[in-house]
Amino acid sequence: MGNVQRLYDFIRRHPSWVDGCWAVLLVTVTLLTFAGQHGQRNIPLSVTLLVGLGCVVGLRRRSPEHVLLLAVGLGIAQLVLDVEPYVGDFALLVAVYTAASQGARWSSRLALVGAFLAAPVAGLRWPTPTAGTSEDVFFTGILMVPFVLAWVMGDSVRTRRAYFAHLEERAARLEREREAEAKVAVAAERARIARELHDVVAHNVSVMVVQADGAAYVLDGSPDQARNALETISATGRQALAEMRRLLGVLRTGEPREAGEYVPQPDVDQMNELIEQVRGAGLPVDFRIEGAVRQLPRGVELTAYRIVQEALTNTRKHGGADAGASVRLVYFDDGLGLLIEDDGRGAPATLATDRGADGAGHGLIGMRERVGMVGGTLDAGPRPGGGFRISALLPLKTI
């Protein structure tokens, strides 16, 4: 079995050598038939044509089109020089098959024409003296069958090869598309993590900075207020640390996770805690909920929470010491409406409109990205008479 496999592998690796062996075998067998036919005419011409037919078999893979033209030329020469058909003419079948399976389309069509004409033309050139017309037609049809079958087999091989090439190209294209989609998914996940990190850091660090400044201001005159501010800083830091661990956990692969290491992502139910935290940081907030409260898609609730969180963070940073804010959540039949307003002095216009209210290009831009991901709309801008206003509509069915 091993020897057979090695022989098969050798044939696959050296197809031209195999063709050369077949050509030598064809020439040898034909010469042996000449040796047994002492009275045959045109032996020198037959041998000359035989060399050309051997080249047809031996070189068929290198240039199928030229080999077909050579075979046609040899066939015409055989007709003109009156060299009767012999064993070497088997090479014509090989030329027809090769052109149909590997050659250009024009050579395949030429081979098909030759397959239909070879037998009738040979019958007319060398008719059988003792046969009648019907017998000539019958034998001509019999001789035509091998040529037509050779072309059909070659064309079938071409079609099958093209089909498998199409499958390979399609598989390669799908693999490229899969890799591209994976890259897009990775980029989207990185953007999502960046937005989450921004929201966590911007909100919690802002609270901590405000409380630290307040504690330093009242440390000598009101130790109790300073203690409360430090407790708020501690609680806010723990909350930020928990959320940072949850987000960084997304980037880990194959690491064991301790129980309680991650916390659920915030939603509308935690809005009251957010408002109380902001109030504790010194920003008065009027919080109202309108409509029938109900469970919303997870992405909608997270988006609503982050928009309110970012808006109130911006108010604390840019609204001034006397600023106040109002937050309204309105439950509609088909979604959730948000309205966050403040009466502070607001961020500089270039930050509020061009780069985002955090001054680094991530505030309002991040809000718009979040709202766009759930198929909602967002409007943000200064209020008439002062302050800032953010409104958003988040649909019940996310895209």
The secondary structure of 244-288 as a DSSP string is HHHHHHTT--S----TTSS-PPP-GGGHHHHHHHHHHTT--EEEE
Highest mean pLDDT among 57-66, 151-160, 379-388: 151-160
pTM of the model: 0.48
pLDDT in the model for residue 314: 86
Average pLDDT over residues 189-193: 70
Q: Give yes or no for residue 261 having a pLDDT over 60.
A: no
Q: What would the pLDDT profile of 198-223 be if each residue is shown by its tens digit? A: 666 666 676 677 777 777 777 777 77
> Whole-number mean pLDDT of the chain?
79
Select the more confidently predicted residue: 174 or 188.
174
User: CA–CA separation, 362 vs 36, rounded Å?
Assistant: 96
Average pLDDT over residues 304-328: 87
pLDDT in the model for residue 247: 61
Beta strands in the chain (DSSP E): 285-290, 325-332, 335-342, 377-382, 388-395
Average pLDDT over residues 2-25: 74
User: CA–CA separation, 146 vs 21, rounded Å?
Assistant: 22
pLDDT in the model for residue 355: 42
Highest mean pLDDT among 2-16, 42-56, 123-137: 42-56
**Phi, psi (degrees; rounded to nearest 5) at 288:** -135, 145
Q: What would the pLDDT profile of 333-361 be if each residue is shown by its tens digit? A: 888 999 999 988 765 544 444 444 444 34
Residue 89: DSSP 8-state: G
Span of 37-46, 99-108, 270-279, 334-343 with lowest mean pLDDT: 37-46
**Domain 284-399 in CATH 3.40.190.10:** no
Average pLDDT over residues 118-127: 79
Select the more confidently predicted residue: 253 or 88.
88
Q: Which residues pair with 325 in a beta bridge?
A: 285, 342
Average pLDDT over residues 98-103: 89
Q: How confident is the model at residue 159 (pLDDT cuts 50, 70, 90)?
A: very high
Q: What's the length of the chain?
A: 399
Average pLDDT over residues 235-256: 63
Q: Give yes or no for residue 270 having a pLDDT over 70.
A: yes
Whether the Cβ atoms of residue 85 and residue 126 lie closer than 8 Å to each other: yes
Q: Domain ranges in the chain?
A: 2-126, 284-399
**Phi, psi (degrees; rounded to nearest 5) at 106:** -65, -35
The helix/strand/coil state of 2 is helix
